[in-house]
A = this chain, B = another copy of it.
Amino acid sequence: MAQPQQSEGAEVPPLRVGMVGYAFMGAAHSQGWRTVGRVFDLPRRPVLAAVCGRDADAVRRAADRHGWAAAETDWRVLIERDDVDLVDICTPGDSHAEIALAALAAGKHVLCEKPLANTVEEAQVMTRAAEEAFERGQLAMVGFNYRRVPATALARRMVAEGRLGRLRHVRVTYLQDWLVDPQFPLTWRLRREQAGSGSLGDLGAHIIDLAQYLAGEPLAGVSALTETFVRERPLAEGTVKGLAAVSGTGTGQVTVDDAALFTGRFTSGALASFEATRYATGRKNALRIELNGEHGSLAFDLERLNELSYHDATEPAAHAGFRRILVTEPDHPYLDAWWPPGHGLGYEHTFVHQARDLVHAIAEGRRPEPSFADGLQVQRVLAAVEESAEKNSVYTPIAV
């Protein structure tokens, strides 16, 4: 962990954060905001100003637990607070557009969890609003945190350096297994009206963004199959595995996909293969991506997030092979501020790094990455996947 630098004369100005939502993502973002200034030298000092949720008691407890100074029950009040510079949106996708637009209108910077929205139309409006706000000096970022794993950031750096050469293949899966049991209850994530889609929007959005980010180019079209394996699930009360159940007795309809498979082409002609599912028994969080280029290949597995696999095809065949880079060296992205080599990081640090990058972008007036436009591009791919799946898998170009 970096030792503190000589303090400079001037005080570092605060960046006061107001967060909407405090479930899984809210907890993760809290960890990010609370830790980032303890590890990195920053041009603005994050302050956990206020958190917002509908249940007054619950949000008060969440504020205490996660270290937020104030609690609000109405997000419209939160975004109007004078002591909030940035609104961090951690709610389900159906409320992203409304909150983000209002926050930008109120003059705040915005960090919005992925997927950016539940529809292309919403995402378009948000992107336009973000562009206009940028002219006024406000920044808007979408929370594709898997760009902030040191290993994926290193992969991006290596692709950008030309180490893979002309790209031929990208294959990527995001495999989980928490729905394998047909008796697992219905939750909000299995209802289209809230979640937008199932594996596709939840897991697929991550891998679409990551694939385009690492490849350095957008997808041009896709051909897709989706499936809902279990169409009715028991209703229940309270939360199951941290998710709010759809309350009731008897069973309810699953109205989103359980799994989505699609192939596609990047604009350069490279081929891509995607699979997102919650039925891959034994795979807990297997976001795996491999890129094959003319001069080399890279592979990453989120279940071993401190490692990046690299094959350098310019070496003599007798000594070539996929090498396991332990991404814990000072020269690796984000690592100069952390622990000695071999002392790995975890999932939550992606949120620390996301906070770091956003703070720097705000201080420097740089367009943040991923921008809302990046979020919109993912939304367009998601829409093309759904369209292709409805149209008998026919190859469907991504609208530009």
Residues of A that sit less than 8 Å from B by CB: 1, 3-7, 23-24, 27-28, 30-31, 34-35, 38, 61-62, 64-67, 154, 158, 164, 168-169, 171, 173, 176-178, 180, 182, 223-225, 227, 229, 239, 241-242, 259, 261-265, 269, 271, 273, 275, 277, 279-286, 290, 292-297, 302-306, 310-313, 316-326, 328-332, 339-349, 388, 392-395
B281 engages A292 (CB within 8 Å)? yes
Copies of this chain present:
4
B263 engages A321 (CB within 8 Å)? no
- Given A271-B225, A341-B178, A346-B346, CB of A321 within 8 Å of CB of B318: no
Which residues on B sit within 8 Å (CB–CB) of A319?
158, 310, 312, 323, 325
- A362 → B minimal CB distance (Å): 21
B393 engages A263 (CB within 8 Å)? yes
Which residues on B sit within 8 Å (CB–CB) of A176?
342
Separation of A347 and B346 alpha carbons in the complex (Å): 8
A294 engages B316 (CB within 8 Å)? no
Separation of A281 and B347 alpha carbons in the complex (Å): 28
Which residues on B sit within 8 Å (CB–CB) of A340?
24, 178, 241-242, 285
A341 engages B271 (CB within 8 Å)? no
- A122 → B minimal CB distance (Å): 27
Which residues on B sit within 8 Å (CB–CB) of A328?
284-285
- A196 → B minimal CB distance (Å): 20
B273 engages A261 (CB within 8 Å)? yes
- Given A168-B281, A173-B171, A263-B225, CB of A318 within 8 Å of CB of B339: no
B38 engages A34 (CB within 8 Å)? yes
Which residues on B sit within 8 Å (CB–CB) of A341?
178, 284-285, 317
Task: Tell which of A31, A169, A173, A313 has the most Cβ of chain B within 10 Å.
Answer: A169
- A46 → B minimal CB distance (Å): 13
Closest to A225 in B: B263
Closest to A164 in B: B281
A180 engages B313 (CB within 8 Å)? yes
Closest to A264 in B: B225
B317 engages A321 (CB within 8 Å)? no
Which residues on B sit within 8 Å (CB–CB) of A265?
225
Separation of A200 and B216 alpha carbons in the complex (Å): 28
Separation of A280 and B272 alpha carbons in the complex (Å): 12
A292 engages B313 (CB within 8 Å)? no
Separation of A329 and B285 alpha carbons in the complex (Å): 12
B28 engages A38 (CB within 8 Å)? no
- Given A305-B344, A316-B331, CB of A284 within 8 Å of CB of B326: yes
Which residues on B sit within 8 Å (CB–CB) of A295?
281
- A116 → B minimal CB distance (Å): 22
B392 engages A392 (CB within 8 Å)? no
Separation of A258 and B48 alpha carbons in the complex (Å): 46
B322 engages A329 (CB within 8 Å)? no
B282 engages A297 (CB within 8 Å)? yes
B227 engages A271 (CB within 8 Å)? yes
26 A-B pairs in the complex with CB atoms less than 8 angstroms apart: A3-B62, A3-B65, A4-B65, A34-B35, A168-B259, A168-B279, A169-B275, A169-B277, A182-B294, A223-B263, A227-B269, A263-B393, A281-B294, A281-B313, A284-B326, A284-B328, A303-B306, A303-B342, A319-B325, A320-B325, A321-B323, A343-B348, A345-B347, A388-B393, A392-B395, A394-B394
Separation of A294 and B340 alpha carbons in the complex (Å): 20
Separation of A392 and B290 alpha carbons in the complex (Å): 25
Tell me which of B1, B318, B392 contacts A331 (CB under 8 A). B318
- Given A292-B281, A319-B310, CB of A344 within 8 Å of CB of B343: no
